[in-house]
Amino acid sequence: MADTVEIRWHGRGGQGTVTAAKVLADACLSGGRYVQAFPEYGPERAGAPLRAYNRVSSKELRMHCPVLRPQVVSVVDATLIDSINVTEGATKDAIFVVNTSKGPKEIRARLNIEPGQKIFTIDATKIAMECIGRALPNASMLGAVCKVAGLVTLEHLLEDVRKSFGKKFSQKIIDGNIEATRRGYEEVREG
């Protein structure tokens, strides 16, 4: 990918989207890279649509504004596709990662994306239910995004998830999130 990778996350309050962006930034620090992770601050309510952003670069990141031309768009909640244009501003070769039980072909048609743009799907909510017992799709989405963007190795990512979640949660929750991240990384499908 290019020197600088810009990522836009679409989620709803309470799904852990901001946490996913934060863990991604932390995991991408390796190799002397520069990172940014920041959410858009609006009314912080569970269920309200929100955006979060990442920039990862080998050069110093000086831009301090929302990502307007994302190369990667991560849709943590597919119901958002009906209410907002998640393709807005995406680059011609952008990668979309969508949390859905539907196949990539169906989503490609639904989003009406350009030929040069790629689409990946992952049933992150189902994985979350199986691994954590709650509909928190962030860990599997993080795994999926890392896989398709090629930003960090799976081992490195899992180590970082362990570190980030380890501060706050019990071993059971940590293990569940690690498993969800691994499955997100491995089960994401291109369409």
Partner 1 sequence: MAKTVAATGNEAVANALRQVNPDVSAAYPITPATDIMQRFTSFVSNGKVKTEMILVESEHSAMSACIGASAAGGRVMTVTSSQGLALMWEMLFIASGLRLPIVMPVVNRALSAPLNIHCDHSDAMGARDSGWIQLWSENGQEAYDNTIQAFLIGEHMDIRLPVMVCMDGFIISHSIERIEYLEDNEVKNFIGEFRQLNPLLDIEHPVSYGPLILPDYYMEFRKAQDEVESKVFRVVLDAAKDFEKISGRKYGLFETYRLDDAEIGLVILNSAAGTSKDVIDEFRNRGIKAGLLKPRLYRPFPYKETGEALKHLKAVCVLDRADAFGGSYGPLFIDISTSLYTYSKKPILINKIYGLGGRDYLPEHAELVLNELTEIAKTEKVKTIKEYIGVRG
Chain residues that interact with partner 1, rule: CB under 8 A:
21-22, 25-26, 29, 32-39, 41, 61-66, 68
Closest distance between partner 1 and the C-beta of residue 27, in Å?
A: 9
CB-nearer residue toward partner 1: 48 or 68: 68
CB-nearer residue toward partner 1: 34 or 191: 34
Q: Are 55 and 63 in contact (CB under 8 A)?
A: yes
CB-nearer residue toward partner 1: 22 or 183: 22
Closest distance between partner 1 and the C-beta of residue 135, in Å?
A: 25
Q: Are 177 and 161 in contact (CB under 8 A)?
A: yes
CB-nearer residue toward partner 1: 39 or 143: 39
Taking the CB of residue 31, how many other CB atoms lie within 10 A of it? 8
Closest distance between partner 1 and the C-beta of residue 111, in Å?
A: 25
Query: At 81, is the secondary structure helix, strand, or coil?
Result: helix
Closest distance between partner 1 and the C-beta of residue 35, in Å?
A: 5
CB-nearer residue toward partner 1: 111 or 161: 161
50 CA to centre of own chain? 13
Alpha-carbon distances, residue 158 vs 101, 105, 181 (angstroms): 24, 29, 7
Neighbouring residues of 38: CB distance < 8 A, sequence distance ≥ 6? 21, 52, 53
Closest distance between partner 1 and the C-beta of residue 52, in Å?
A: 10
CA distance 113 to 110: 8
